[in-house]
Amino acid sequence: MTAGTGNTAASERACEECLRRSWLVARLGAQFDFARRRGRDLPLIFDLPDARLIAAIAGAARPAVEREYDAFDPQAAAARCSAAGVETLCRCHSEYPRRLAATTGSPAVLHVVGGRERFVRLVTAETVSIVGARRGSPYGLEIARSLGRALGAAGLTVVSGMALGIDSAAHAGTLEGEGATVAVLPAGAERPYPASKRGLYRRITGSGAAVSELPPGSEIRRWTFPARNRIIAGLSAMTVVIEAGERSGSLITAALAEDLGRELGAVPGRVTSALSAGTNELLARGARVIRDAEDVLDAIFGAGVRRTVPASRVSRCSVRAELRELFDALAGGCDTLGALMGSGRSLDQTLTQLAELEVSGHIRREAGGRYVVRA
């Protein structure tokens, strides 16, 4: 099968040429790190045809790369993918996400874990990416969670990078809102990165998908992070940044989204907080102010066209009548036992009721004995 003949929707795997391209990108991994200048230029590098890419990047390794390039065995590459439980979707495929296809330097092959059809369905719907700092503050993490939750509940697909901090919180929030979410990974799609997010990875691939442009077994490199960011920006109708320092990778995603002419939003933070320097800068340059999920929906669908259902109101219905009063107090910001006890509750009863809410998954206990209302 070649690119020329075109793939039908029914075909099961990527075409030979795209597989070779994908292999080549992974093969040039080490050289890319030398070539990497600024994240914003990456799409241009990725737009080069194979031969020119080798010429531009490979350097001393060029003869070896060319030899291996000619000897590339697509059957074996495809076999490696299926052995790793990864499905492929290539640029020549009619199902290839249209939004991503429209970008410069889009990946030749998307490697998908969690079902190709589901992935295609999810990214064809309205997509929002939520990205931000790895060391998010409790404020940022909670915003990421609640945005994910509300957007997931509203039926949008939330795209992010599964990094520590904001990214993970956005994924986790979406899952709590019973929405589907797509994680774009910096290494092979079969490998949870960071490894500590294994549990989250399982839940994401259970109802959504994990994707990567790199074939299974590829290594993490510095350039794979900005390269992954270009896919996040490319897949999404809108990108929302929550907490980013001045030199955060999330700002690369934001810049790429801006270059693509997609909607860009940022959550305002304190002007004195280093973690909000990047986001506040984006706002100053004209990004949309995002205060809640409503603002995101307004940006995508037009003001007032779609409304969110406040997540806490949904979950409140499932709280037993006797526990509602306590639940409302928690949702209203009385989030530690000391604060709750202030209004004349008895300790015994409060403890049992908190346990009940915790067991039923309505609240979560965090460090410092703070109770946080979940979805």
Partner 1 sequence: MLAQVATFAIDGVEPRPVWVEVDIRSGLPTFTIVGLGDTAVRESRDRVRAAIQNSRFTFPQSRVTANLAPAFLRKAGPGFDAALALAVLAASGQVPAEALARYAVYGELSLGGELRDSPGALAVAEGAHRAGLERLIVPCERAREAALVEGIRVVGVASLREAAAVLSGREPPRPTTSSPAGAATIRTEPDLSDVRGHELPLLALQIAAAGGHNLLLEGAPGTGKTMLARRLPSILPPLTRAQAIEVTRIHSVAGLHAGGLISARPFRAPHHTVSASGLVGGGTPPRPGEASLAHHGVLFLDELSEFQRTSLDALRQPLEDGHVMVVRGQRVLELPTRFMLVAASNPCPCGFAGVGDRCCCGEVDLRRHRRRLSGPLLDRMDLLVTVERPQERELRAPPLTSSARARERVLAARQRQQARLASAGGGCNGEMDSRLARRHVRLDRAAELALGAAYERNALSARGRHRVLRVARTIADLDGRDRVSAADVLMAVSLRQRDLAEGSLAA
Kindly list the residues in this chain that would bind partner 1 in the complex (CB under 8 A): 133-139, 141, 145, 164-165, 168-169, 171-172, 175, 196-197, 199-200, 203, 336-338, 341-342, 347-348, 351-356, 358-361, 364-370
Task: Report the residue number, 56 or 164, with the smaller CB distance to partner 1.
Answer: 164
Task: Report the residue number, 292 or 356, with the smaller CB distance to partner 1.
Answer: 356
At residue 336, the 3 state secondary structure works out as: strand
What are 266's strand-pairing partners?
A: 241, 289
Give every CB contact of residue 373 below 8 A, 6+ residues apart in sequence: 312, 315, 327, 330, 331, 362, 363
Q: Work out how close the CB of 181 gets to partner 1 at its nearest, in angstroms, rounded to a whole number.
A: 11
Task: Report the residue number, 163 or 260, with the smaller CB distance to partner 1.
Answer: 163
Q: Are 209 and 159 in contact (CB under 8 A)?
A: no
Q: Work out how close the CB of 159 gets to partner 1 at its nearest, in angstroms, rounded to a whole number.
A: 16
Task: Report the residue number, 266 or 340, with the smaller CB distance to partner 1.
Answer: 340
Task: Report the residue number, 280 or 353, with the smaller CB distance to partner 1.
Answer: 353
Q: Work out how close the CB of 144 gets to partner 1 at its nearest, in angstroms, rounded to a whole number.
A: 9
Q: Work out how close the CB of 139 gets to partner 1 at its nearest, in angstroms, rounded to a whole number.
A: 7
Amino acid at 228: R
Task: Report the residue number, 102 or 274, with the smaller CB distance to partner 1.
Answer: 274
In Å, how far are 29, 225, 231, 246 from 36, measured between CA atoms? 11, 11, 17, 19
Q: Work out how close the CB of 308 gets to partner 1 at its nearest, in angstroms, rounded to a whole number.
A: 22
- Nearest-Å Rg of the Cα atoms of the chain is 22
Q: Work out how close the CB of 153 gets to partner 1 at its nearest, in angstroms, rounded to a whole number.
A: 17
DSSP 272-292: T-GGGHHHHHHHHTTPEE-SS
